[in-house]
Structure 1
Amino acid sequence: MEAPNGLIVYHYPFSPYARRVIWYLQLRGLSYAECMQPHIMPRPDLSALGISYRRIPVMAMGRDVYCDTRLMLRKLEERFPQGALGATGGEQRAIQRLLDRWITDGGVFMRAASSMPPSLPILQDPKFLNDRRDFVGRAWSKEAIEQGRPESIVAMRDAFDLLESTLLADGREWILKTEAPSLGDIEAIWPFDWLVDMDGALPGEVISEKQFPKVFGWIQRFRGRLRRAQAQAQGSGSKAVKVDGEAAAKVICGASFAESGGKIDAAEPLGLALGTEVEVWPIDSGSSHHDKGRLVSLTWDEVVLATRADKWEAEIHVHFPRWGFRVARASASASAKM
């Protein structure tokens, strides 16, 4: 088999981060394959590619694999420029980028996640709770969520209010005053939509359509555009192709590389040379899972290392953003295992 457009997305439906990438592909009308993953570790489909990274989603484009949704969206914009959703003007690009930073690094998503009601069925599963404890590196329990929820709801109310009283205050349909949803909308909407869709997450007397009609209207318009895009994909036969891990790995290992490596930016402060054995890991969540391999490329905004899918005797290039990730020379013990 072949992956449509050479794209395979590893994800599970409940992942709010995965929605960002899936929404982007659907709004663009870009066909892709998807390899569904368990919502807790282990994920042998990714381990088979020599990947330790534990966050979802992960996206393959040919024999290159991309980690972190911000990097994925940037690569999709570059690979498929005709009909790209990203802003082109300086002010709009600034708003789009600031929204990305505000939601992810400014704590909005963290507050959204800690607004989950403890009664959710998934929070009754000890395996899920243990998995998330490993993921965040600290205590993660129904009791901790219950204790922190009031503070998080206050923070989310502030986030709803910011959008209601600033960007959406003038009655615009879309964040960047575009005619259709843009990348700016995707950057901003995902944690709000996720919470609105979650039973019991938002107390109606605090956050509802009554208090924030513009934000809720924006969410409904966005959902309507998604439904339309999904219906068009269904009608044209270009809906996502489902593949299992074995098939996905065969496609990836048999493909060409989507990008050439071999670049290190001038004055790179780490002082690493191409071919050095390195390890890369996120510095916020999932930080106990380090990916190790030979350095293929190192620029101001991206690091690429080579891993190996042993079963298929194929080299895979794994890409990470520099923002939010740490790059270091692999330890002697790690190098001995590679």
Structure 2
Amino acid sequence: MPRPDIKALGTNYRRIPLMSIGRDIYNDTRLILSKLEQLFPPSPQHPSISSNPGLSKLFEIWAVDGGGFRNAGALIPAEMPLLKDPKFQKDREEYTGFSWTPENVAKGRADALVEMRNTFENIERNFLADGREWIAGTKEPSLTDIEAVWLLHWLRGLPGALPPDVISKTQFPRTFAWVERFDGAAKAAAEKMGKPKTVKWPEVKGIVKGSEFAEVEASADGNDPSGYKKGTVVEVWPTDSGFSHRDRGTLVGLDWREIVIKSKMEDGTEVRVHAPRHGFRIKEVKDGETKL
């Protein structure tokens, strides 16, 4: 069977990362990474990035559910022009559900600094103190590093976000060195892969329309606590952010890991939309409309 054509769709109107493999469309970075590991078994050309799934999951929960993302957002300097842009404020408020005016961001800054400093402290003292280069003790960066580093990497590159008298190389030399190591490894990998092709939306739609499904249609767990059965028309949306926009379709797959709905593109092309079970909500709807 030929390898399906993989296309990164970028982010949709909810700013949630999307990936299409044929006519299967995957929501959210967490699911995208696991699907790539599942659908394309490790080989010398693309070795596995999984090393310690439990530890990776704990860092994922910290970043998304444990307040990491919210605290990092509160460290955006209030004087940045972006925070004074009404369009940006409205976009972020719709995405996260809380106010992004400079005044409200500034109010949460002190508490966010305490929480973020504790994160740097935890990594410095409890993970890197023994001299390891990567969080899970691997020879190369792994999924655990990706889950743990992305917020710290972003803050490190945001001028004014981290006051040097509170969080800097002086207080946390191992952690900053680890972030810089990861940055170097990511840049080296990107250079090796070459410049990615930019695919515009009309071309994406054509590729999806002309493709097959990448996966066999899933099944729905008859004992799922939700009580929803295969064939039910439902809405699916994230609970952590971007929750004001929802995907709608016919439920075709449901278990403790994943929600899968069958829907249609604007031209009637049938697709399957996959979302992680954790961090997403599902609800039955009655009007039967199943277009994206």
Q: Compute the TM-score of the two structures, normalised by the length of structure 2.
A: 0.92
How do 1:136-175 and structure 2 match up within 5 A?
A: 136-175=96-135
Q: Among the aligned pairs, what percent are the same residue?
A: 41
Secondary structure of 2:152's partner? helix
Q: 1:106 aligns with which of 66, 72, 75?
A: 66
Is contact 2:250-2:290 (8 Å) kept?
A: no
Deviations 1:114-167 (A, max 9, x none): 111122232232111111112222322111101111111111101100100101
Q: 1:230 aligns with which of 164, 184, 190?
A: 190
Distance 1:100 1:285 in 2: 15
Is contact 2:263-2:290 (8 Å) kept?
A: no
The residue that corresponds to 1:85 in the other structure is 49
Is contact 2:89-2:99 (8 Å) kept?
A: no
Q: 2:154 aligns with which of 184, 194, 198?
A: 194
Root mean square deviation, CA, Å: 1.7
Is contact 1:59-1:65 (8 Å) kept?
A: yes
The residue that corresponds to 2:284 in the other structure is 329
Q: 1:286 aligns with which of 242, 267, 272?
A: 242
Deviations 1:293-333 (A, max 9, x none): 1111111110111111122x311110011111111111x3x
Deviations 1:17-40 (A, max 9, x none): xxxxxxxxxxxxxxxxxxxx6xxx
Secondary structure of 2:129's partner? coil
The residue that corresponds to 1:8 in the other structure is 7
Secondary structure of 1:264's partner? coil
Is contact 1:264-1:298 (8 Å) kept?
A: yes
Which amino acid is the alignment partner of residue 273 of structure 2? V
Q: 1:317 aligns with which of 269, 272, 278?
A: 272
Give structure 2 stretches of 5+ with no counterpart: none
Is contact 2:248-2:289 (8 Å) kept?
A: no
Pair 178,5 (structure 1): closer, same or farther in 2 beyond 3 Å: farther
Secondary structure of 2:120's partner? helix
Which amino acid is the alignment partner of residue 48 of structure 2? A
Is contact 1:111-1:152 (8 Å) kept?
A: yes
- Structure with a larger share of its residues in helix: 1
Distance 2:289 2:21 in 1: 30
Q: Runs of 4+ in structure 1 displaced over 4 angstroms? A: none
Which amino acid is the alignment partner of residue 9 of structure 1? A
The residue that corresponds to 1:50 in the other structure is none
2:183 is aligned with 1:212? no
The residue that corresponds to 1:255 in the other structure is 211
Deviations 1:81-114 (A, max 9, x none): 2111102xxxx33222211112221111211111
Give structure 1 stretches of 5+ with no counterpart: 12-36, 38-45, 47-52
Q: 2:56 aligns with which of 96, 116, 132?
A: 96
Is contact 1:10-1:56 (8 Å) kept?
A: no
Q: Compute the TM-score of the two structures, normalised by the length of structure 1.
A: 0.80
Superposed displacement of residue 72, structure 1: 0.8
